[in-house]
Every structure is written in C-alpha cells, then in structure tokens.
Amino acid sequence: CSAAAQAQSNVTLYGDLDEYLGYIHSSSGAHITGLNDGTSLRSRLGFRGVEDLGAGYQAKFQLESGFNADSGTQADSARFFDRQSWVGINTPVGEFRLGRQNTEIQQIGGAIDYTERTTFGSIVNTFGVPSRYDNDISYKSPRIAGFQGTVHYALAEQPGGGHAQSAIYQLAVDYTNGPYRAGYAGIAAKPAPATAANLATHLDNKVQYHNLYADYDYGQGKVYLAYVRSNNITANASGLTAGTILSNVASPNNLFPGTDANARRYFNVYQVSADYRVAPQLRVGALYGVIKDKSGGDAGAKGGNVGAYYDMSKRTTLYGFANYMKNDANAGFRFSGSAGPSANLAGADINGKGLTGLQAGIIHRF
Amino acid sequence: CSAAAQAQSNVTLYGDLDEYLGYIHSSSGAHITGLNDGTSLRSRLGFRGVEDLGAGYQAKFQLESGFNADSGTQADSARFFDRQSWVGINTPVGEFRLGRQNTEIQQIGGAIDYTERTTFGSIVNTFGVPSRYDNDISYKSPRIAGFQGTVHYALAEQPGGGHAQSAIYQLAVDYTNGPYRAGYAGIAAKPAPATAANLATHLDNKVQYHNLYADYDYGQGKVYLAYVRSNNITANASGLTAGTILSNVASPNNLFPGTDANARRYFNVYQVSADYRVAPQLRVGALYGVIKDKSGGDAGAKGGNVGAYYDMSKRTTLYGFANYMKNDANAGFRFSGSAGPSANLAGADINGKGLTGLQAGIIHRF
Amino acid sequence: CSAAAQAQSNVTLYGDLDEYLGYIHSSSGAHITGLNDGTSLRSRLGFRGVEDLGAGYQAKFQLESGFNADSGTQADSARFFDRQSWVGINTPVGEFRLGRQNTEIQQIGGAIDYTERTTFGSIVNTFGVPSRYDNDISYKSPRIAGFQGTVHYALAEQPGGGHAQSAIYQLAVDYTNGPYRAGYAGIAAKPAPATAANLATHLDNKVQYHNLYADYDYGQGKVYLAYVRSNNITANASGLTAGTILSNVASPNNLFPGTDANARRYFNVYQVSADYRVAPQLRVGALYGVIKDKSGGDAGAKGGNVGAYYDMSKRTTLYGFANYMKNDANAGFRFSGSAGPSANLAGADINGKGLTGLQAGIIHRF
C-alpha cells in the first residue's frame, strides 16, 4: 500500500445519495412532479476521523455537508458543513464535543418510526424537527445498565450579561434492553431579553420540543410508538403551520426575539408504525399519526403511509411510499422527507387541504 | 493496508487543475492579460464510486465540483457539485442515472476537435455548448455493433399539468469502428406556456442544438469534422451574441419563458481540425471554423487556432495556443475555454471586432 | 490494498479543527463569551498531491478550504478554496506556482512568535497580516548556504496598459543556521491609476508591509523577535484601526482605488516572545508587543499574553491563553486568532479601550 494512501488513513470519507421521483396531489386539484433529494437519507458527503490517544481516550471529528443530488446545490447555502462540524474527546467517563452538532431529537430518528422519521408520510417529520445548532457543547455518558444520557448547551453569542439564559438546552436519555428501546429527547430555549423596540410584543415563552419514544423488536420487524409535545410551530409563506419559531440556527448567533405569539400554541403529536421483513432483502411498513392543536385553533393534521424498502446490497436500496395527510382547517403542514421537495405547491393548495404523495427512488451509501 | 484506508475504497477522489496565462487583444486596440482557469479542462474536484451488485448490475455515483484555481472560487456559486451530481444503476441492458448530469453534447467534446472542443480557438466552443441540467433522468444503451444511444429527460418542476412538455430532451447516437467515429448529439426544449403577463411577446419556438461529428484516426493523429445547428444564442451585457437562451440550468426549475425573439434566429457552425503527434510527448494541431447566421443578420464569426500539447507525464501537460476570431458586424462572440477568462474586455471591444488570443499553461490531473 | 484505495494515492486529504471558548472583556465593562474557531490554526480541509516527473522535477498542487468549525460555515463565503488553490512545478532550480497562494508573510508565522503569530495576544497578528492573493505567480529558490528567496507577482487583471504597475509584489528571504533563523518578508502594491471620478482624492501611495524576524533556539525553547512596518491600516465599522487598505484580495481583481488617506499613516510594530518546554508534552510561553503610530495620531496599541500548549498526541493539542491589549486613544485594534471570534464587541467598546481575553480549546490535526 502506498505511503500516500496510508497518509489518508486519518480521514474516512463517507456519505450517500438519495434521489426519488416525487408526486404531490392536493385536494384543491393542484399537483406537481419532481426529481427530489432525500426521501429518507438527505444526500451528504462527510469526513470523519478517530485518533486513539491511549488510556481509553480518543480524539474525534466529523464534518458533514448536505446537498441536493438532483441539482448539486448545497443543502444550506450559508454553511458548507451544515449537518455536522465538531471536534471532541471521548474519555472513559463519556464523550465531549464542540461545534455544530445534530440535536439528540434528530439523532434518534431510527427509534421514532419505520422510515427513520423521514418520508412524506411520517407525521412526526411533517410536524418539524429541530435538527442542529451552532456553538453547541455536548456531553454523552457511557451506556450504563442500558441507560445513556446526553446534554447539550448551545451558546447565544451576545455581548452583555443577560443572554446566557437564552442558550439552547438539550437533554436526552435512551434505554435499550434486548428487543426493547425507549427514551426521551428534548430541547428548550428562552428568547432574547425584550428590547425597547419589541417591548409591546415580547413574550417570555420558552420554545420547547419534547419527544418520547418506545420500540419493540418482534423478530421479523419492529413496532414504534412516538409522542411529541411542542410549541415550535409558526406560519410562513409556505403555509399556516409550515414554519418553526426556533430554527436550526436561531439567527443571529442562536438567539430568537420572542415576539411570535404562536409560541403560546402547543401541539401534541401521536404516531404508531411497524415494519415487517418479508424477505432478507424486502421490508414493508405502515404508519399512522395525528397532530393535535391543543390550543383549540383547529390547526392539526393526521395521516400516514405504507412503504417498502428493497436492499440491492448493504449499501444500495430501492424504495417506494404512498402517503396521505389531511390538514385541519387552519393548518398548513407540508410533506417533507429528509429534505423538502425541490419544488412544491403554493400555500393555498396546502392550507386546510388533503395531500397525497408518492415517492419512488434509490439510496446509495458510500 | 490500514482499515481506515480500506474504508475509503468506496470513494475515489479525482480532479485536475488547469491554469494558464491568457492574453486577449481586440482590433479596437483594447487588450487584457490574466491568470485564468481552464484552457481545456476546467479545474475540478470529484468524488465517484462503483459498487458491484452482482449479476451484471452496479450502483454508481459521481459528484463533481468545478472551481477557478486562480482564485479558489467555485465555478458556480449556487451549486457546489455544479458539474455532476447523480446516482445510477448500470444493468446488462444499459445504464440509468438520476440527477444533475452533463449533456451528451458536452460529453462528446473529445470527438469535436483536437482541443476537446475547448480553448479560445474552438469555434464550436465559442458558439456555446449546453453543458448540463438539473433534475435529469438518462438512459445509455450498451454499445452494440459499434452503436451506442443515449436519451435524457430533465423535468420542469412546475405545479399544474401544462409543463411536462417544457422538459429538456436529449438524444445522442455515437458510432465507433476501428479508426472511425461519428455521431449525433442534440437537445430540444419548449418554453413554458404563455402567461397573461407575457402573452404579447411569447413565442412557441423550441430551443434546439444539433451536433453532428466525424473523426478519423490516421495513426499519427486525428482529423475532426463538426457541424452544429442551433437557435440557442442571444445578446447579453457582454456582447450581441455572447449569451444563451437556454442556460445550463433553465431557471426556475428548468423552465424558460419563451419571450426571447432571438429564438427565431438559427446559426450553422462548421469546423475542421486535425492534430499530429510529433513525438511521444508532443502533439500539435490546427483548427478552422465558421459560424453562419442563417437569418441574414450578419451575426456570424470565423476563426481558428494552432496549438501544442507537451506531456510531462500521463497526468501533467504543458500547452500553448495562438487563436484568432473575427466577429461579423452584428456579432459579439467571445473567446472561452473550458471556463471563461476571469476578467475580460468590454462588449464594445468585442462586438464586430477581430480578436487575437494567446494561452500558455499547465494541466495537472489527479 | 484495494485498487480503489490505490487510485486515491494521488491525493492526500489533510486539515485540522481548532475550537475554543473565548471570553473578551473591555474596559468599558462590555464582555462577550463565544465558541470560536481558530485560536491558532483556523479549521481547514485540504487536498494536496505531488507527482514525480523524474530528473528532479515534480508536479504539485494544493487546495485548502478554511471553515468555522463552530458553525460549519466557510471562512470565505465567496471562495471554497479560500486559503490555497495553486498548481506548480518543482525543478532543480526552484519551484514555480500559479494560483491563489499564501503570502510569504503569512507563511513565516512560525518564525514570528511562540503562538505561530496567532492567538488574541500576538500583537503582530492583531495589527493585521496580508495573507493571500488571487492570480499569484511565485518562484521559490532552493535553500543555498542557509538562504532561501521567494518572489510573488499577483496580476491586476484589468483591460488596458496602465494597470500592470498595480500588481501586488512580494519578496522574501529566509536564513537558517543551526539554532538561528532570521529573515524578511514584504509586500508592496500601487493603487489603480486615478480616474476622472476619484481624481480629487486619489493618492499615489503604495501600500506596504515589511516584516523582519529573528529566532534563537536555546534547546528548551525559542526566543522570537519581530518587527513590522506598514501603512496597511484603515478604519472600518468595527473600529478606528480594525481594517486593512489592501485586503486578502484587492477587489476587483487585485486592484485598489488609492483613495484612502490612511495610506499616509505608517505604523511600526515591535514584538518579543519566548517559550519553554516544561515537559515533553507541555510548552509555556509569553509575549509582549507594541504598535506605534508613527504619524503621531495616537493610534497605536500595546499588549501581550501568556499561554500553554499541552500535546495529547502529535495530532491533538489542548491550549490556554490569557491576553491583554490596550488601544491608544484613537486606535481600535481587535483581538483576533487565526480567525476572528464569531461574535464580537461593538466598536465603541474597542476604540481607545483596554481588552482582556481568555482562550481555552483544542486543536486536532488530520
């Protein structure tokens, strides 16, 4: 083996491409067909490494860039390593990381439903998931008696003393025991202090997202239960409930103003799903979920999907999904996968409408 | 060989750097000197992989990012993998690909002229080549009795039913037989349907680009013939004929409005070139071509070049070219290589002018 | 070793992540805490290769992309390979390179002070360093009798004949002899010719940066002396002396207008530092420097730091620094590392103020 190839052994390249033909039909009659990225595993390119420091210590890093394989564009035009960008030290008493990191909520997608909480049909995915934050410091414990805990603290980088409380906090506990898995992952953030300019509209409400889950592996497949409670939903140009208050980075520097009255509206999300391995290469599943608007504003939704994965190899999978969702009168939730469709219907064809979605595509991991 | 290096064997990194000193002199007297990227092989960094799935099937992907080696800027600030971003399955009956792909016209550059249809002097290159599109689905047949066929369909991702006809279509046939090669590669796209706002100026004209070519390898070199017919030329701020109607991505989502009256103007391009291998490391060549404005608008051009390639190794080549082009009275064609010069003359020094260009540089492939 | 891994041996991936918790306190009372990138080795990802051409010749390239590990953003949103992007030929009589290259001033950071001329406390770093330019052509001699010389010429890519004199020139000589090292690295650039629009305010003053340095390795550490003379300082929104006249790329195309009257103001910078290796893994150091405003405008500053590096391995280092700087009444110099802090104090908390800075973090090289 050449010296140059050896020199590369500090870095592992990895990633995947996930592209699908997607069709969305609204009960308004509007429809759209597109070649989209990321039914369930957003296309990405990553660089990662582990250095053994001895005595149970390791230095680690990971840099991960999402992109749209249908167009070659970056997932986040402002961040090249938009998905992960961190350096850390693993120790005998747990792992510490610094940088842009996935939330624990995002990380446990595989425990949420049979689609790894992606595809158009996953109601938890449609509701919206806080995925990652800048300036994030995390600690993950070793797994002890089946339990593993994680905490995150993402700095609000602001001058002055009143902003430390506006940091973004995360807490997660995951429990595994043979065929059983269960846990909690949550996030909470307080808005920036009121300013003279926004005093009249400023709210003190924390934005919160709480996620409980439980899985059972029955041998030929799994059953997944998930529950979410959150007030992190707002309106945007795409629909009445198509946006989030606390985005994947709260601009600027992890700080949100606290002036969105939607933070007073809580939603509960309930979802059940299961899959079944028909053959070594073929897995089928079904999912049903409900978003309930606890404020009584009739801004919930319900829906589900059926789907199948066919493994051409460990690295290459074909898949197909048929999905349906019905928005309540004042809701504008949209289908999303691991990434949103590259073109979509207008808000008027989403708000209060029923949506049918078909997805057929390929994932290739490398 | 270390495990980590093995883990990387799913991905191959490749690319090149091509930089040259370029000098352009206009018959107006204006001139400019620059360190430019891409006389003939635009600098790029790529990631590609092939996975054997058995039974004659393979999963494949390719991600390719163009950049300007003189400044470190991306070739396309909006796309990181601007050149290629696709995943595909090769089967015993042909290869299927999904994503952003090179056009077949772009792919057959090596059959068009001795400069691989780049350098300032290539008249076919100067005329402008539709190079690649988003949301593209392609099928390439196996080569049978010397013939290989390819079709592409790039979706116009628009809501509603009237837009499927606005997709971008490609067809290509390539034939090889010993020292002979010949073929056709073409593209056609219909504009978006008329809207209330553009009803008065909307045309139904398809944008088309048809390319015929024939080569003969006489042992010490090759002779190349090329013919292009197209209406894909328009004016822009850089010159009377410096732009294209249907760009490398028709914005938004592969859709152009059909309001450019230049689509009524057809051009024919004729070009002949040849090269001769003087020594194992040294190849020289010459080229001559004409752009004819078939609408009688006197917007054609003619020109050619002489040049030499010196191979320091299989991967590293030095080159030099002397190029000349004369724009007709109403033409503003510009010298271009695999990428345009990083700084250029103003339109007034191009329109109707004669241009002399010198290029000297290096290509290093990795 | 697999064929695919062999195919990669033309390219070596390398880079580092450097993240730290930074705290800045102004004598105004304002303060800020952040997770920042690049105390001393800005996070980066690079691709480089060397091809042996025989007879003492080599083809080489290097592509290097800086990024902020705390957020995943690129260091330069306009350039992917913002740090280095060049191709070159090494010959028995020296090395020639074309493209975006580090300045010689930037390259000799390791000879300037014990922090490699980074960290908040390095006064030479705080003063500002011209780091790299586009369209740069360089030649580096072999080292002969301890001496090595380098010249750079970065083209001002402008039409017409008057601009060649506006190119950016560099000259450097480095001398090593056992434990001694000394040298000079400098840069000079003349502004663009006056235009009708800026005739009244146009100056002919060259922007210059001259850097002398001398080091002595006393066995357990080194002593470093550095002297800088430059007029490349101007005001910007961040402070009275927080900007440079000739930036890392002089826009557009390496050309600056010559209308900034600050080019008449020269500064001298004097700095001394030393380090001591306490143990094989632990190195400590201290630094003191002064910026003198030779125009008498009271726009200088002075300060220093103490710090320590602890090597967990050859590739992974923990570090900590305590830094102080006092701006003169009309100065607004700011702490900077290899990259600036991701959030910072307002200009009013910098101009004329005393600044205390703490840094604690990790560098992991790969």
For C89-114, the DSSP string reads: EEETTEEEEEEEEE-HHHHTHHHH-T
Q: Which subunits count as partners of chain A given 3+ CB pairs below 8 Å?
A: B, C
Task: Report whether B333 contacts B239 (CB < 8 A).
Answer: yes
Asked whether residue A1 carries a pLDDT value surpassing 80, the answer given is no
- Residue ranges with strand state E in chain C: 12-26, 31-37, 44-54, 57-68, 73-74, 84-91, 94-102, 132-140, 147-154, 168-177, 180-189, 207-217, 222-230, 234-236, 239-243, 267-279, 282-293, 301-311, 316-327, 354-365
Q: Which residue of C has its CA nearest to A81?
A: C72
* C32 and chain A in contact, CB less than 8 A: yes
Task: Report whether A209 contacts A183 (CB < 8 A).
Answer: no
Helix (H) and strand (E) counts in chain B: 3, 20
Alpha-helical segments (H) within C20-128: 104-107, 109-112, 123-127
In 3-state terms, what secondary structure has residue A69?
Answer: coil
Identity of the residue in A65, A70, A312 whose CB atom sits nearest the CB atom of B135: A70
Task: Write down the pLDDT at residue B9.
Answer: 65
B221: alpha, beta or left? (left if phi > 0; alpha if psi -120 to 50): left
* A96 and chain C in contact, CB less than 8 A: no
* C343 and chain A in contact, CB less than 8 A: yes
Locate the domains of chain C by residue range: 21-365
Cα–Cα distance between B359 and B21 in angstroms, integer? Answer: 6
Q: Which CATH class is domain B29-365?
A: mainly beta
Extract the tokens encoding A40: 């369930």
Identity of the residue in A12, A32, A312 whose CB atom sits nearest the CB atom of B59: A312
| pLDDT tens readout for residues C90-112 | 999 999 999 999 999 999 999 99
Report the 3 state secondary structure along B60-102: EEEEEEEEECCCCEECCCCCCCCCEEEEEEEECCEEEEEEEEE
Cα–Cα distance between C126 and C326 in angstroms, integer? Answer: 12
Compute the nearest-CA separation of A342 from chain C (Å): 23
Identity of the residue in A47, A82, A159 whose CB atom sits nearest the CB atom of C45: A47
Q: Residues 257 to 316 of B: which have CB under 8 A from any C CB?
A: 312-313, 315-316
Task: Write down the pLDDT at residue A109.
Answer: 96
Average pLDDT across chain A, whole number: 95
- Listed residue (C364, C365, C309, C360) closest to C39, CA to CA: C360
Q: Decide if A157 and C342 are in contact by the 8 Å CB cutoff.
A: yes
Q: Partners of C357 in the beta sheet?
A: C24, C323
- Residue ranges with strand state E in chain A: 12-26, 31-37, 44-54, 57-68, 73-74, 84-91, 94-102, 132-140, 147-154, 168-177, 180-189, 207-217, 222-230, 234-236, 239-243, 267-279, 282-293, 301-311, 316-327, 354-365
The DSSP output letter for B141 is P
Cα–Cα distance between B274 and B215 in angstroms, integer? Answer: 9
Q: Which residue of B has its CA nearest to A343?
A: B157
Name the fold adopted by A44-333: Porin (2.40.160)
Q: Decide if B79 and A72 are in contact by the 8 Å CB cutoff.
A: yes
Task: Write down the pLDDT at residue A9.
Answer: 65
Task: Write down the pLDDT at residue B249.
Answer: 86
Cα–Cα distance between B196 and B214 in angstroms, integer? Answer: 46
The DSSP output letter for B191 is P
Q: Residues 53 to 92 of C: which have CB under 8 A from any B CB?
A: 53, 57, 59-61, 63, 76, 78-87, 89
Q: Residues 130 to 169 of C: which have CB under 8 A from any B CB?
A: 134-137, 155, 157-161, 164
Identity of the residue in B1, B342, B364 whose CB atom sits nearest the CB atom of C87: B364
Cα–Cα distance between A255 and B94 in angstroms, integer? Answer: 52
Q: Decide if A159 and C72 are in contact by the 8 Å CB cutoff.
A: no
Asked whether residue A7 carries a pLDDT value surpassing 70, the answer given is no
Extract the tokens encoding A51: 């250095």
Residues in chain C with CB shorter than 8 Å from the CB of B72 are 63, 76, 79-85, 99-100, 134
Task: Write down the pLDDT at residue B160.
Answer: 77
Q: Decide if B79 and A73 are in contact by the 8 Å CB cutoff.
A: yes
Residues with Cβ within 8 Å of C241's Cβ and at least 6 positions away in sequence, in order, are C233, C234, C235, C299, C301, C327, C330, C331, C332, C333
How far is residue C108 from each of residues C126, C132, C187, C249, measured CA to CA in Å?
16, 13, 13, 19
Q: Would you give per-residue pLDDT tens digits along chain B (366 residues)? A: 333 434 446 899 999 999 999 999 999 999 999 999 999 999 999 999 999 999 999 999 999 999 999 999 999 999 999 999 999 999 999 999 999 999 999 999 999 999 999 999 999 999 999 999 999 999 999 999 999 999 999 999 988 766 777 899 999 999 999 999 999 999 999 999 998 999 999 999 999 999 999 999 999 999 999 999 999 999 999 999 999 999 888 878 888 999 999 999 999 999 999 999 999 999 999 999 999 999 999 999 999 999 999 999 999 999 999 999 999 999 999 999 999 999 999 999 999 999 999 999 999 999
| pLDDT tens readout for residues A308-338 | 999 999 999 999 999 999 999 999 999 999 9
How far is residue B55 from each of residues A3, B58, B143, B260, measured CA to CA in Å?
35, 9, 19, 50
Task: Report whether B69 contacts C87 (CB < 8 A).
Answer: yes
Asked whether residue A88 carries a pLDDT value surpassing 80, the answer given is yes
- Listed residue (C323, C307, C288) closest to C363, CA to CA: C307
Asked whether residue C5 carries a pLDDT value surpassing 70, the answer given is no
Cα–Cα distance between C288 and C324 in angstroms, integer? Answer: 10
Cα–Cα distance between C154 and C170 in angstroms, integer? Answer: 9
Pairing of strands B180-189, B168-177: antiparallel
Asked if the peptide bond before residue C252 counts as cis, ω within 30 degrees of 0, the response is: yes
Identity of the residue in A6, A32, A49 whose CB atom sits nearest the CB atom of B159: A32
Asked whether residue C190 carries a pLDDT value surpassing 90, the answer given is yes
Residues in chain C with CB shorter than 8 Å from the CB of A1 are 1, 5-6
* B5 and chain A in contact, CB less than 8 A: yes
In 3-state terms, what secondary structure has residue C355?
Answer: strand
Q: Taking every pair of C-alpha atoms in chain A, what is the biggest distance, in angstroms?
A: 68
Could you tell me if the ipTM is greater than 0.90?
yes
Residues in chain A with CB shorter than 8 Å from the CB of B137 are 35
Q: Decide if C342 and A253 are in contact by the 8 Å CB cutoff.
A: yes
Residues in chain B with CB shorter than 8 Å from the CB of A35 are 98-99, 134-137, 155, 157
Residues in chain C with CB shorter than 8 Å from the CB of A76 are 72
Report the 3 state secondary structure along A312-356: CCCCEEEEEEEEEEEECCCCCCCCCCCCCCCCCCCHHHCCCCEEE
Residues in chain B with CB shorter than 8 Å from the CB of C153 are none
Compute the nearest-CA separation of C284 from chain B (Å): 35
In the predicted model, what is the mean pLDDT of residues C335-362?
96
Residues in chain B with CB shorter than 8 Å from the CB of C161 are 31
Extract the tokens encoding B213: 């070519």
* B2 and chain A in contact, CB less than 8 A: yes
Identity of the residue in B5, B71, B312 whose CB atom sits nearest the CB atom of C134: B71
Average pLDDT across chain C, whole number: 95
Compute the nearest-CA separation of C73 from chain B (Å): 14
In the predicted model, what is the mean pLDDT of residues A82-99?
98
Task: Report whether A258 contacts A245 (CB < 8 A).
Answer: no
Cα–Cα distance between A359 and A340 in angstroms, integer? Answer: 12
Mutate to test the interface with C, among A14, A58, A85, A133 (most CBs of C within 10 A): A85
Residues in chain A with CB shorter than 8 Å from the CB of B51 are 313, 315-316, 364, 366
Residues in chain B with CB shorter than 8 Å from the CB of A319 are none
Q: Partners of A306 in the beta sheet?
A: A286, A322
Q: Which CATH class is domain C21-365?
A: mainly beta
Q: Decide if B137 and A362 are in contact by the 8 Å CB cutoff.
A: no
Cα–Cα distance between C360 and C322 in angstroms, integer? Answer: 9
Compute the nearest-CA separation of B168 from chain C (Å): 30
**CA atoms lying within 13 Å on the CB side of residue C363:** 24
Residues in chain C with CB shorter than 8 Å from the CB of B69 are 85-87, 98-100
Percent of chain A whose pLDDT exceeds 70: 97
Asked whether residue C219 carries a pLDDT value surpassing 90, the answer given is yes
